[in-house]
Chains A and B, each alone.
Chain A
Amino acid sequence: MKTRKFIALLLVMIMAVSCIGIQSFADDAFQAESLVLAADDDSFNVSPWSNSQGEVSNYLQNIIWTHLAIRPFTGAMIGSGMELVAAKEITKVDDLTWKVILNDNITDSKGNVITASDVKFSFDKNYELGYYAYVNNYYDSIEVVSDTELLFKTKTADEGGFESAVINTAICSQAWYESASEDEVLNNPACTGAYYVTNVQNGHSVTVTAREDYWKTGDVTTTEKQNVKTIQILCMSEDDARSIALENGEVDYAQVSYIAYDRIFRNDKNYVVYQIPKFMNAILIFNCDPSSVCSDPNVRKAVSYAVDMDQVFLLGYGNDSYQLHHDICPDVTPDYVSSWNEEDYYSRDLAKAVEYREAAGYGENELVLNFIVRAQAPQQPYVVMQQQLAEAGIVMNITTYDRAVFNTYYADNTAWDFTESGSEVTDFTANFWSRMFSEEVYGEKGSENNIHDAKLQELLKAAVATRSEEDMDAFHQYYTYDQCYAIGMYNEVNYFVARKGIVDIAKGPDNATLQAMTFTSDYKPVPLQK
């Protein structure tokens, strides 16, 4: 079974505009009777605050549970792009408190009315279970003012903290949750979202149906659109199984491997293929601890010039669909400077690689680097990199560690020289940088890769504070070209295949918003599985 891939998608175009345009004429008749989809997952949990990171939970979390507000695209903030769902109005009182006015007609699929005290219960319960790191970092408490008004207190004034807590906390009725049996919570919950759960077969399939009695009627956010009557998600963790299911007419929509896309679906007209960049970027990060060879910038630059990203991807993953990115943060956030993409960014240059290697004082094959990697990850890309470094006279030893053991070695400053890493970008590039390099976060470790560089910290503070173009560019130039602490590699692209008749798969911040898909008349759904 492949490693458990963490599926996340970045929306590039502005969703809000298009959805308003379409929504105006959608009558209550459904565009499609049903949608069956195969997910690369084998365990899910429909209860409100479970943090199962699988593809199924990703799809369902916002559809069956309402949230105060949702983030339709990366970087959306309250007042600039975020859509209010349960909340009618959110205003910031001061750095640590926010006033939230709720809609007054919120009900769940079992008829319980949702009030401010239910919202408080939901946040407290989520905090207590502690499955969401963001919620535990930023949520402090909620003060209930009236049935439809509450004051939300955050722990820190960090930008985006409130938003992270809000988008990760499902809201459900306290009365129902405390009285429901474990079986009911897991199989037949009282859903507050636009859809409710009708059938669960643990580990195999889950079916949700649009709620006729959904409480919101006016302008509806993307997660509340009801274009499809019934959605069924089947768990198929085998690549082949999903592509076979598509061809056999067992499912309408599924993610497939590049090879299946290239050989079967690319030129088959009764399928539509969508290429969505993978949420998790890939970056090459150097260990700047004095104990490592890579503390010398020349070594870092030699390696960066020796690696040819195109070859690594073409041969390593065997497909040509990827986006090279010119910063360690993918180009999906508002504060990303698009001019970076035109820079000549460490594309392969053997002469420079050798030149920097000699500048660092190493002859042919004298420079030996230890590259650590998770055993479960596909090894081919690193084998290709090894070959390329060898051509520049640099010896790269690949050490594989079991996934669970990997982090302990990654945290040990003396155990590695360079490796591939990556992280979630939630709102802004500046925040993404600070999670990697800011000293406040890492204390005396300095940064994720043990950097102790005052200038770096100074430039970082400026960029985070203003997010102006020249501050962002100053930090980018310094850490990439002057010091080469870490370089962006590529963003894998995932392939989603939909049957003919599915016009647009309505991409959400990190996944397709299933019930907001648009269908044409010649969409013939496959039968639901019993």
Chain B
Amino acid sequence: MVSIKIVMKTKKTDTSNLKPGSLKYVWRRLLKNKSAVFGLTVVVTLMVLSLLSPYICRYDYKSMDALNAYSVPTAQHLLGCDELGRDILSRVLYGARYTFIIGILSTAIAAVLGIAMGAAAGYFGGVVDSILMRFLDIFQSFPMLILAMAFCAVFGTGIDKCILALGISNISGFARLMRANILRIRNMEYVEAATSIGCPTGRIITSHVIPNAISPIIVEIAMGISRNGLASSSLSFLGLGVQQPTPEWGAMLSSARSYIRYYPHMVIIPGLFILITVLSFNLIGDAVRDILDPTLKE
């Protein structure tokens, strides 16, 4: 008989005593995931740089300088200049705020409306459910971009309209997610137990149903921000989103488009910034999803 060596009690990793799915648990595990940390650092540094850009950049993002229009990145202008001689570095940094604002606000709108709709449809079911679902089907049958474009066509262009357009066209994603979660949780035994002891529906939703549905929502929010950041640049590219001379990346890309063959840096740089930001949000979203859905990660 082989004798089993005495098993030392391994140091309890600090996350095992937290309830999986609670925010603190997610946050602690997130910090251990390399790609998520990379994503977080990029997002935070961009935000800080964007806020500080008017002070730390050598040139104001609006000032024009005819002499070195189109100039390639030089010592003076680290990222070169655009067609009006404006410093691209300061414009890109200053412009970061628009992508964040649009991405985050539109996702917030979509989340709030979507969750409310999804919760109502999922929980009450019956007529309410079928009406909302029919409504979502109609929404679902258009590609997001076409819906946003139609919205801009109706309400006009500009940042606020862009945010509303993207917000509204993303509702169906959140609504379906919430509804699916609610249906799954609703007929779980512990919810049936809660209703059987007569606690009011409102409390059931807030205390039982939403906390459990929160984890996929977090993932959808992170993914939503990156998706909307990308979509806002497409909208500006089509001339419907943010208008010049605002230094929003999509608008910068759009106006620099006709020079792509001759002064590629004017197109490549904003494109790269969009890429990095969207990638960072995607990484964060992925990490959160893996933490909350272990089968994926193992």
- Chain A contacts for B84, CB-based, 8 A: 315, 380, 383-384
Cβ-closest chain B residue relative to A243: B261
List the A side residues contacting B156 at CB < 8 Å: 401-402, 405
Whether A318 is near chain B, meaning CB under 8 Å from some CB there, is yes
B70 to chain A, nearest CB (A): 8
Mask for A244-268, Cβ within 8 A of B = 1, else 0?
A: 1000000000000101100100000
Contacting A378 at CB < 8 Å: which of B64, B153, B255, B261? B255
> Within the complex, what minimum Cβ distance (angstroms) separates A40 from chain B?
12
B202 at the interface (CB under 8 A from A): no
Query: Which of B64, B66, B262 meets A259, CB within 8 Å?
Result: B262
List B218-271 residues whose CB lies under 8 Å from chain A: 238-239, 243-245, 255, 257-262
- CB-CB < 8 A to B153: which residues of A? 402
Tell yes or no: A240 within 8 A of B by CB: yes
Are A387 and B64 touching (Cβ within 8 A)? yes
Q: A263, B262: Cβ atoms under 8 Å?
A: yes
Give A318-337 as 1s and 0s: 1 = Cβ < 8 Å from B's Cβ atoms. Answer: 10000000000000000000
Given A318-B83, A379-B244, A384-B64, A1 and B261 contact (CB-CB distance below 8 Å): no
Is A376 interfacial (CB-CB < 8 Å)?
Answer: yes
Query: Are A257's CB and B157's CB within 8 A?
Result: no
Take A384-B84, A405-B156 as given contacts and tell me if A314 and B260 are in contact as well, using a CB distance cutoff of 8 Å. no
CB-nearest residue of chain A relative to B260?
Answer: A240
From B64, B66, B243, name the one whose CB has the most chain A CB atoms within 10 angstroms: B243
- Is A400 engaged at the interface, CB distance under 8 Å to the other chain? yes
Docked Cα-Cα span, A400 to B245, in Å, equals: 10
Count of residues in B whose CB is under 8 Å from the partner chain: 22
Most buried by B among A239, A402, A405: A402
B145 → chain A closest CB, angstroms: 14
Q: In the complex, what residues of A have CB within 8 A of residue B83's CB? A: 318, 380
In-complex Cβ contact of A376 among B70, B239, B258 (8 A):
B239
Which B residues touch A106, using CB under 8 A? none
Name the residue of chain B whose CB is nearest to the CB of A403.
Answer: B239
A383 to B63 alpha-carbon distance, docked (Å): 10
Which parts of A378-402 form the interface with B (CB within 8 Å)? 378-380, 383-384, 387, 400-402
* Closest chain A residue to B83, Cβ basis: A318
The answer to whether A239 and B64 have CB atoms under 8 Å apart is no
Interface size class, chain A = 20 to 34
Contacts of A402 in B (CB 8 A): 153, 156-157
CB distance from A244 to the nearest CB of B (A): 8
A376: chain B residues at CB < 8 Å are 239
How far is it, in angstroms, between the C-alpha of A380 and the C-alpha of B84 when the chains are bound? 7
A401 CA to B239 CA in the complex, in Å?
12
For window 118-175 of A, CB contacts with B under 8 Å fall at none
Q: Chain A residues with Cβ under 8 A from B66's Cβ?
A: 311, 314-315
Q: With A315-B84, A318-B69, A318-B83 as given contacts, are A239 and B238 in contact (CB-CB < 8 Å)? A: no
The proximity string for A residues 205-221 relative to B, scoring 1 for CB distances below 8 Å and 0 otherwise, is 00000000000000000
Chain B window 135-153, contacts with chain A (Cβ cutoff 8 Å), 1 for yes, 0 for no: 0000000000000000001
Q: Does A375 contact B (CB under 8 A)?
A: yes
Collect the chain B residues with CB atoms within 8 Å of residue A259's CB. 258-259, 262
CB distance from A492 to the nearest CB of B (A): 14
- Say whether A1 contacts B258, CB under 8 Å: no
Q: What 0/1 readout, one digit per residue, does chain B (254-295) give for beta carbons within 8 Å of chain A?
A: 010111111000000000000000000000000000000000
- Considering the complex, which residues of chain A in the window 269-321 have a beta carbon less than 8 Å from any beta carbon of chain B? 311, 314-315, 318
B69 proximity list for chain A (CB < 8 A): 315, 318
Q: Considering the complex, which residues of chain B in the window 58-89 have a beta carbon less than 8 Å from any beta carbon of chain A?
A: 64, 66, 69-70, 83-85
A373 to B: closest C-beta gap in Å:
10
A residues contacting B by CB (< 8 A) are 1-3, 239-240, 243-244, 257, 259-260, 263, 311, 314-315, 318, 375-376, 378-380, 383-384, 387, 400-402, 405
Instruction: Please list the 10 inter-chain residue pairs (A to B) with the smallest Cβ-Cβ separation, ordered nearest first.
Output: A379-B244, A239-B258, A263-B262, A402-B156, A400-B243, A375-B243, A315-B66, A318-B83, A375-B157, A257-B258
- The 7 listed contacts between A and B (C-beta, < 8 Å) are A240-B261, A260-B262, A315-B66, A318-B69, A376-B239, A378-B244, A384-B84
B residues lining the A interface (CB < 8 Å): 64, 66, 69-70, 83-85, 153, 156-157, 238-239, 243-245, 255, 257-262
Besides the contacts A315-B66, A375-B239, A384-B64, what 12 more A-B pairs have beta carbons closer than 8 Å?
Answer: A240-B257, A240-B261, A243-B261, A259-B258, A263-B262, A318-B69, A375-B243, A379-B243, A380-B83, A380-B84, A383-B64, A383-B245
